[in-house]
Chains A and B, each alone.
Chain A
Amino acid sequence: MFGVWLSLVLLLCLLGGVAGFWWLQRRRQQQKEALLRRQLVSVTQSSRQTGDNIAHDLRTPLTRLRADVEDALRHDDSEMHRATLERVLDEIQNMQNIVNALLALSQAEAGVMRVRKKTVDLSGLLEELIELYIPSAEERQLTLQGRIAPNLNIEADRQLLARIFANLFDNELKYVPAGGTILLTALASGPHVEIRVEDDGPGIPVEMRDKIFERFARLDPSRTLSGGSGLGLSLVKAFAQLLQGEVRVVESSLGGAAFILTLPASAAEVSKPSP
């Protein structure tokens, strides 16, 4: 429903743009209209898909829950009841994660999530996160390496930054097959810092590189593998924007995906956090 409203607003804006340009230049306008029409179609499609996906993502576990509980109630077997309750609890946890992520997303996107900016030793934070994830990476036969420039300080919210990288690392550990390499690079680049998380895994096909940041977008739509719900990268994007940064994905020179996050480097560059 959030998505529907968003698309309505977008539709109105796009139509307003069309009207404004109409009497300016007929030829240019015709080209523009064609472009806008394509954008309209994709906006409405993606928001409809988002709505469908929310329903789908909550209905699938609900259906499973219901069938499971009904089945258990038909039997008088306490061991089976126990096993059912444990599955029910797992399923509740999954749904809780989805709801939590959706709430965080809408708060972040609506700008009501309070951002506590302070000077953060980004180099230190990234080293810490690597240290946190290395044992888990090694357990999956993955090599996790950092090439982090020293003394990168930025004005940011440490928890939000950490959540961004935790989401990216969680993905690396899920989608890069055993034996693979994950590389984290961080360096200053003019008024920005650039942090890359890249790998030699399967990568993201070109046509999916924008889409993957949308809610519920997954390369494997069946949701059977690894069981993610496709919200991690939308959170990454929303949090990056809260920090006046942006994120995109390109092909890594290692052969897999390279997620590139750019953030403003110094206090002077940073606008006041939203109230």
Chain B
Amino acid sequence: MVKLLIIEDDEAAAGSLKRGLAEAGYAVELAHDGERGLQQAQAGDHDLWVIDIMLPGRDGLSVLKALRDQGRRTPALILSALGKVDDRVEGLRVGGDDYVVKPYAFDELLARIEALLRRVRSFGSGPETMLELADLKMDLLSRSVTRGGQEIDLQPREFRLLEYLMRHAGQVVTRTMLLENVWEYFFDPQTNVVDVHISRLRQKIDKSFATPLLHTVRGRGYILRPEA
């Protein structure tokens, strides 16, 4: 079972987070302040840490920095207070791997945890040159895409979008994750810009084929997978 440590002082928030993550199949351990969080992280063999920045006593950034200084490389997702624009940069600088602003949507956090765990699992397998999902193939060197042997013509951005989806195949990715990773914008526009790009991509990769690969997960985001 995948083990998570959540360092979060708001016990009510930590409690519902724990319940949600347990329902998603994770073993969850809680710590309510920085000092104890640090000890639990050092003592445990967690697969991922979720660390709130604003903690009583020792703050989250200093906890993470201490852990990184000890050479611990467990992936860390940082939770920051609303509106602290600089926390993202600061958090990534001390060794955070991803970052979510409070108040966050549970699904956003879950999707990012899954993406981080996935990234760790595929780490060390060397640079890939080919991505495949069912009969969809992406050649990263020649930058070409085929489905069922048939060439699919993609714009450069559509290629990046599909590449990101293929690297996270089988896993929900949110609109915000796509904006950050495919377009490199760290804010959410009002207009549903991502949705329309997704539906254009879907036209190209799914329209003339029997089994759709790119699915919308209502209220959460998108998932690329062979079954509905």
- The answer, yes or no, to whether B186 is at the interface (CB within 8 Å) is yes
Chain B: number of interface residues, binned into ranges: 10 to 19
* B185 A136 Cβ-Cβ under 8 A: no
Cβ-defined partner of B191 (8 Å) among A114, A162, A169: A169
Q: What does the 1/0 interface line of A225-247 toward B look like (CB < 8 Å)?
A: 00010001000000000000000
Of residues 89 through 103 on chain A, the ones whose CB sits less than 8 Å from some CB of chain B are 96, 99-100, 103
* A128 B86 Cβ-Cβ under 8 A: no
* A107 B83 Cβ-Cβ under 8 A: yes
Q: What does the 1/0 interface line of A107-128 toward B look like (CB < 8 Å)?
A: 1000001101000000000001
Cβ-defined partner of A162 (8 Å) among B103, B187, B200: B187
- The answer, yes or no, to whether A259 is at the interface (CB within 8 Å) is no
Please list 12 pairs of residues, one from A and one from B, whose beta carbons are closer than 8 Å in the complex, sorted by A's number: A103-B83, A114-B86, A116-B89, A128-B183, A135-B200, A159-B185, A162-B185, A162-B187, A166-B185, A170-B190, A173-B191, A228-B190
- The answer, yes or no, to whether B152 is at the interface (CB within 8 Å) is no
Cα(A173)–Cα(B191), bound, Å: 8
Q: Which residues of A contact B103 (CB under 8 A)?
A: 96
* Chain A, Cβ-Cβ closest to B90: A114
- The answer, yes or no, to whether A163 is at the interface (CB within 8 Å) is yes
* A114 B85 Cβ-Cβ under 8 A: yes
Q: Which residues of B contact A163 (CB under 8 A)?
A: 187
Q: Which residues of A contact B89 (CB under 8 A)?
A: 116
Q: A100-B82, A136-B191, A167-B190 are in contact. List 4 more A-B contacts (CB 8 A).
A: A99-B82, A103-B82, A169-B191, A232-B190
Q: What does the 1/0 interface line of B186-202 toward A look like (CB < 8 Å)?
A: 11011111001100100
* B191 A159 Cβ-Cβ under 8 A: no
Q: Chain B at the A interface: mostly helix, strand, loop or mixed?
A: loop
Of residues 75 through 91 on chain B, the ones whose CB sits less than 8 Å from some CB of chain A are 82-83, 85-86, 89
* Chain B, Cβ-Cβ closest to A173: B191
Residue of B89, B157, B190 contacting most chain A CB atoms (<10 Å):
B190
Cα(A215)–Cα(B192), bound, Å: 24
* B186 A159 Cβ-Cβ under 8 A: yes
* A136 B193 Cβ-Cβ under 8 A: yes
* A159 B187 Cβ-Cβ under 8 A: yes
Asked, given contacts A96-B103, A107-B85, whether A133 binds B157 with beta carbons under 8 Å apart, the answer is: no
* B183 A132 Cβ-Cβ under 8 A: yes
* Chain B, Cβ-Cβ closest to A159: B186
Residue of B157, B191, B193 contacting most chain A CB atoms (<10 Å):
B191
Cα(A131)–Cα(B155), bound, Å: 11
* A166 B197 Cβ-Cβ under 8 A: no
Q: Which residues of A contact B192 (CB under 8 A)?
A: 136
Cα(A128)–Cα(B187), bound, Å: 15
Chain A: number of interface residues, binned into ranges: 20 to 34
Q: What does the 1/0 interface line of B92-134 toward A look like (CB < 8 Å)?
A: 0000000000010000000000000000000000000000000
Residue of A99, A136, A170, A232 contacting most chain B CB atoms (<10 Å):
A136
Cα(A133)–Cα(B183), bound, Å: 12
Smallest CB separation, A165 vs chain B (Å): 9
Q: Enumerate chain B interface residues (CB-CB to A < 8 A).
A: 82-83, 85-86, 89, 103, 157, 183, 185-187, 189-193, 196-197, 200
Q: Which residues of B contact A99 (CB under 8 A)?
A: 82-83
- The answer, yes or no, to whether A54 is at the interface (CB within 8 Å) is no
- The answer, yes or no, to whether A210 is at the interface (CB within 8 Å) is no
Q: Which residues of B contact A96 (CB under 8 A)?
A: 103
Q: Which residues of B contact A133 (CB under 8 A)?
A: 191, 193
Cα(A100)–Cα(B196), bound, Å: 25
* A104 B85 Cβ-Cβ under 8 A: yes
Smallest CB separation, A73 vs chain B (Å): 20
Cα(A114)–Cα(B93), bound, Å: 15
* B196 A136 Cβ-Cβ under 8 A: yes
* B157 A131 Cβ-Cβ under 8 A: yes
Q: Which residues of B contact A104 (CB under 8 A)?
A: 83, 85
Q: Which residues of A contact B191 (CB under 8 A)?
A: 133, 136, 166, 169-170, 173
* A166 B183 Cβ-Cβ under 8 A: no
Asked, given contacts A135-B196, A135-B197, whether A169 binds B185 with beta carbons under 8 Å apart, the answer is: no
* Chain B, Cβ-Cβ closest to A165: B189
Smallest CB separation, B175 vs chain A (Å): 12
* Chain B, Cβ-Cβ closest to A140: B191
Cα(A34)–Cα(B10), bound, Å: 55
- The answer, yes or no, to whether A139 is at the interface (CB within 8 Å) is yes
* A100 B83 Cβ-Cβ under 8 A: yes
Cβ-defined partner of B189 (8 Å) among A128, A135, A169, A228: A169
Residue of B89, B103, B193 contacting most chain A CB atoms (<10 Å):
B193
Of residues 117 through 158 on chain A, the ones whose CB sits less than 8 Å from some CB of chain B are 128, 131-133, 135-136, 139
